[in-house]
Amino acid sequence: MADQISKLSTQPEKDKKDLFNRIAFNIFIGNHDDHVKNHGFIRSIDGNWSLSPVFDLLMGEGERRDMAMSIGLEGNKASFNNLLSTIESFGITRSKGITRIQDMEAQLAQWENLLEKEGIDSRTINDIKWVFEVPTDVSRLTE
Protein backbone atom coordinates (compact mmCIF):
# COMPACT_ATOMS: atom_id res chain seq x y z
CA MET A 1 0.00 0.00 0.00
CA ALA A 2 2.83 2.41 0.84
CA ASP A 3 4.31 1.74 -2.60
CA GLN A 4 1.00 2.72 -4.22
CA ILE A 5 0.97 5.93 -2.20
CA SER A 6 4.43 6.74 -3.60
CA LYS A 7 3.06 6.32 -7.13
CA LEU A 8 -0.32 8.06 -6.77
CA SER A 9 -0.18 10.66 -4.04
CA THR A 10 0.92 14.26 -4.55
CA GLN A 11 1.89 14.28 -0.84
CA PRO A 12 3.45 10.83 -0.43
CA GLU A 13 5.55 11.56 2.66
CA LYS A 14 2.53 12.72 4.67
CA ASP A 15 0.26 9.98 3.35
CA LYS A 16 2.75 7.18 4.07
CA LYS A 17 3.17 8.41 7.66
CA ASP A 18 -0.62 8.54 8.00
CA LEU A 19 -0.88 4.98 6.70
CA PHE A 20 1.72 3.82 9.25
CA ASN A 21 -0.26 5.50 12.04
CA ARG A 22 -3.51 3.89 10.87
CA ILE A 23 -2.02 0.42 10.78
CA ALA A 24 -0.44 0.88 14.22
CA PHE A 25 -3.78 2.07 15.61
CA ASN A 26 -5.53 -0.93 14.07
CA ILE A 27 -3.04 -3.25 15.77
CA PHE A 28 -3.71 -1.54 19.11
CA ILE A 29 -7.49 -1.90 18.85
CA GLY A 30 -7.44 -5.37 17.31
CA ASN A 31 -9.01 -4.35 14.01
CA HIS A 32 -8.42 -7.55 12.09
CA ASP A 33 -10.65 -6.34 9.24
CA ASP A 34 -8.15 -3.72 8.10
CA HIS A 35 -7.72 -4.31 4.37
CA VAL A 36 -6.63 -2.35 1.30
CA LYS A 37 -10.16 -1.15 0.51
CA ASN A 38 -10.22 0.63 3.89
CA HIS A 39 -7.52 3.00 2.66
CA GLY A 40 -8.91 4.97 -0.24
CA PHE A 41 -7.65 7.89 -2.25
CA ILE A 42 -9.36 11.19 -2.95
CA ARG A 43 -8.87 13.20 -6.10
CA SER A 44 -9.09 16.94 -5.62
CA ILE A 45 -10.59 19.37 -8.12
CA ASP A 46 -7.11 20.17 -9.44
CA GLY A 47 -6.46 16.48 -10.14
CA ASN A 48 -4.17 15.75 -7.19
CA TRP A 49 -4.54 12.47 -5.33
CA SER A 50 -4.13 11.91 -1.59
CA LEU A 51 -4.97 9.32 1.03
CA SER A 52 -8.59 9.70 2.11
CA PRO A 53 -9.57 10.43 5.69
CA VAL A 54 -9.68 7.33 7.84
CA PHE A 55 -12.87 5.24 7.75
CA ASP A 56 -14.23 1.80 8.67
CA LEU A 57 -12.34 1.37 11.93
CA LEU A 58 -13.84 -1.75 13.47
CA MET A 59 -12.67 -3.42 16.59
CA GLY A 60 -12.45 -7.15 16.16
CA GLU A 61 -14.00 -9.44 18.73
CA GLY A 62 -12.47 -12.75 19.66
CA GLU A 63 -8.93 -14.03 19.85
CA ARG A 64 -8.01 -13.44 16.21
CA ARG A 65 -5.14 -10.96 15.95
CA ASP A 66 -4.12 -11.13 12.29
CA MET A 67 -4.83 -8.34 9.84
CA ALA A 68 -6.78 -8.76 6.61
CA MET A 69 -3.81 -7.46 4.60
CA SER A 70 -0.08 -7.96 4.64
CA ILE A 71 1.70 -5.34 6.75
CA GLY A 72 5.28 -6.62 6.84
CA LEU A 73 7.68 -9.46 6.23
CA GLU A 74 5.52 -11.78 8.35
CA GLY A 75 2.50 -11.16 6.13
CA ASN A 76 -0.70 -10.28 7.93
CA LYS A 77 0.55 -10.98 11.47
CA ALA A 78 -0.77 -8.14 13.65
CA SER A 79 2.37 -7.18 15.52
CA PHE A 80 4.41 -4.04 15.79
CA ASN A 81 7.59 -5.94 14.94
CA ASN A 82 5.95 -7.08 11.71
CA LEU A 83 4.86 -3.52 10.90
CA LEU A 84 8.38 -2.27 11.67
CA SER A 85 9.94 -4.95 9.44
CA THR A 86 9.17 -2.81 6.37
CA ILE A 87 9.41 0.60 8.02
CA GLU A 88 11.46 2.03 5.15
CA SER A 89 8.46 1.78 2.84
CA PHE A 90 6.68 4.34 5.04
CA GLY A 91 9.52 6.83 4.66
CA ILE A 92 10.44 6.89 8.34
CA THR A 93 13.22 5.38 10.40
CA ARG A 94 12.74 2.45 12.75
CA SER A 95 13.53 4.76 15.66
CA LYS A 96 10.79 7.21 14.65
CA GLY A 97 8.36 4.35 14.06
CA ILE A 98 8.98 2.98 17.54
CA THR A 99 8.60 6.44 19.05
CA ARG A 100 5.31 6.92 17.19
CA ILE A 101 4.01 3.56 18.45
CA GLN A 102 5.04 4.37 22.02
CA ASP A 103 3.42 7.82 21.80
CA MET A 104 0.24 6.23 20.49
CA GLU A 105 0.25 3.76 23.37
CA ALA A 106 0.50 6.67 25.84
CA GLN A 107 -2.34 8.51 24.11
CA LEU A 108 -4.54 5.42 24.04
CA ALA A 109 -3.97 4.94 27.78
CA GLN A 110 -6.03 8.13 28.14
CA TRP A 111 -8.78 6.99 25.75
CA GLU A 112 -11.59 7.32 28.27
CA ASN A 113 -10.69 10.92 29.15
CA LEU A 114 -10.33 11.81 25.47
CA LEU A 115 -13.78 10.47 24.62
CA GLU A 116 -15.39 12.20 27.60
CA LYS A 117 -13.71 15.46 26.55
CA GLU A 118 -15.25 15.03 23.07
CA GLY A 119 -18.70 14.63 24.59
CA ILE A 120 -19.13 10.89 24.15
CA ASP A 121 -21.72 9.60 26.61
CA SER A 122 -20.76 7.17 29.37
CA ARG A 123 -22.93 4.36 27.98
CA THR A 124 -21.05 4.41 24.65
CA ILE A 125 -17.71 4.57 26.47
CA ASN A 126 -18.71 1.56 28.54
CA ASP A 127 -19.84 -0.32 25.41
CA ILE A 128 -16.44 -0.01 23.74
CA LYS A 129 -14.29 -0.37 26.85
CA TRP A 130 -13.36 -3.95 25.93
CA VAL A 131 -11.44 -2.68 22.88
CA PHE A 132 -8.96 -0.80 25.01
CA GLU A 133 -8.55 -3.50 27.62
CA VAL A 134 -6.39 -5.67 25.35
CA PRO A 135 -2.95 -5.65 26.96
CA THR A 136 -0.30 -4.19 24.70
CA ASP A 137 3.33 -3.71 25.72
CA VAL A 138 5.57 -1.85 23.32
CA SER A 139 8.42 -1.30 25.79
CA ARG A 140 10.44 -4.16 24.27
CA LEU A 141 10.54 -2.74 20.74
CA THR A 142 14.17 -2.14 19.84
CA GLU A 143 15.90 0.01 17.33
Per-residue pLDDT tens listing for the chain (143 residues): 777 788 878 888 998 999 999 999 888 888 776 666 667 788 889 988 887 777 766 666 666 567 878 899 999 898 899 999 999 999 999 999 999 999 999 998 899 999 999 999 999 999 888 877 766 778 777 77
Question: Residue 63 belongs to what H/E stretch?
Answer: none
Closest by Cα among 98, 136, 137, 77 to 20: 98
Alpha-carbon distance of 105 to 9, in angstroms, equals 28
Q: What pLDDT score does 128 carry?
A: 85
Q: Where are the domains of the chain?
A: 2-132
* 3-32 burial code (b ≥16 CB/10 A, e <16): eebeeebeebeebbbbbbbbbbbbbbbbbb
Give, in degrees to the nearest 5, the angle at Cα 109 between 32 and 34.
15
Q: What pLDDT score does 83 carry?
A: 94
Q: What pLDDT score does 98 carry?
A: 95
Amino acid making up residue 94: R
Question: Residue 51 burial by CB count (10 A; 0-12/13-18/19+): exposed, middle or buried?
Answer: buried
Continuous H helices in 38-121:
80-84, 94-108, 111-117
SS percent in the chain: helix, strand, coil, step 5: 50, 5, 45
